[in-house]
Copies of this chain bind each other. A is one copy, B any other.
């Protein structure tokens, strides 16, 4: 293990903060977690991160900590490190990189949480050694990151990679973004759960298998409101026909969306992660076959479709890697 140049990566979400000491090979030396001090505003969250950094200092291998990287679920201004908007934290225009840097007296790198996870998979996960890749994270929502020609794409206002909000069904179901038929509105975790609840209400007998799976997860009796994508996945895996149909609908949307992304970006690797993929790992193979069939031959002949490797740790590992790169003058 290369323990020089160790850094700390922070994954800052609306409910929890995770922070890890990570060495230059992407290995986690120690990881800690806390509930996010949302109510206290940016100052409280900054203090919380400072305490966590201090906790992790001991985990480092003797050498001084080089820097801290933070992935935030929100829109970040690249040059200033201002959090433009982070709905889960209820922040608007918070100069968080500066605030945190002043207290820590260390270099701080700030990026979007999904971008951080893409950095993680690229440098230390399923994307290692690859110059052209897409990471698509299918969780409650769907987001991603794109590396092209050896560089992470950031776009005009640093929001490149909103891959969940690509229309795959013009007249499809309404998305949280207001449009119809976004990939996320067909295959995101919240959308799978919504489709399941609607189907159960329309046909309570057919929905029994999914409700039972929801009850097993909750360890109590379940109503349609308790149904999650995880319950649908569980029911599908035990052969429930309705759950199987719902998963197949989501898979069909994912194939169309992934083939579109592959045609547009022409990556060497398409890396699939997030809760929905982890709950239904067979989707990776299903999407690989579908994209090979539906994508343009020129775009798919050199494509590999792979599962993400870092799972829940991609965010902290990626944020730490970004801090390391920032300290050494890249990217």
The answer to the question of A296 belonging to the interface, with a C-beta cut-off of 8 Å to chain B, is yes
**If A168-B167, A169-B170, A256-B167 touch, does A155 touch B162 (CB 8 Å cutoff)?**
no
- Can you list 23 A-B pairs, Cβ within 8 angstroms, ordered by A? A132-B155, A132-B156, A148-B153, A148-B155, A148-B160, A153-B265, A155-B266, A156-B268, A156-B303, A157-B301, A159-B296, A160-B264, A160-B265, A162-B264, A162-B266, A162-B296, A163-B263, A165-B296, A166-B263, A168-B168, A169-B171, A170-B172, A178-B294
CA distance A268 to B158 in the complex (A): 11
Q: Are B156 and A267 in contact (CB under 8 A)?
A: yes
Q: Is A257 in contact with chain B by the CB < 8 A criterion?
A: yes
B177 near A296 with CB under 8 A, answer: yes
- Chain A, residues 135-164, CB within 8 Å of chain B (1/0): the string is 000000000001011010111111111110
Q: Are B296 and A170 in touch, CB under 8 angstroms?
A: no
Assembly stoichiometry (copies)? 2
Q: Is the CB of B170 within 8 A of A302?
A: no
Interface residues of A in 256-273 (CB under 8 A from B): 256-257, 259-261, 263-268
Kindly state whether residue A24 has any CB partner on chain B within 8 Å.
Answer: no
The A interface, classified by DSSP as helix, strand, loop or mixed, is loop
- How many residues of A sit at the interface, in one of the four size bands? 35 or more
Determine whether the beta carbon of B264 is less than 8 Å from that of A161.
yes
A158-B266, A166-B166 known, 14 other contacts, Cβ within 8 Å = A132-B155, A132-B156, A148-B153, A149-B153, A151-B151, A155-B299, A156-B266, A157-B266, A162-B298, A165-B259, A165-B296, A166-B263, A177-B296, A260-B260
B75 A298 Cβ-Cβ under 8 A: yes
CA distance A296 to B159 in the complex (A): 10
Assembled-state Cα–Cα distance A148/B155 (Å): 6
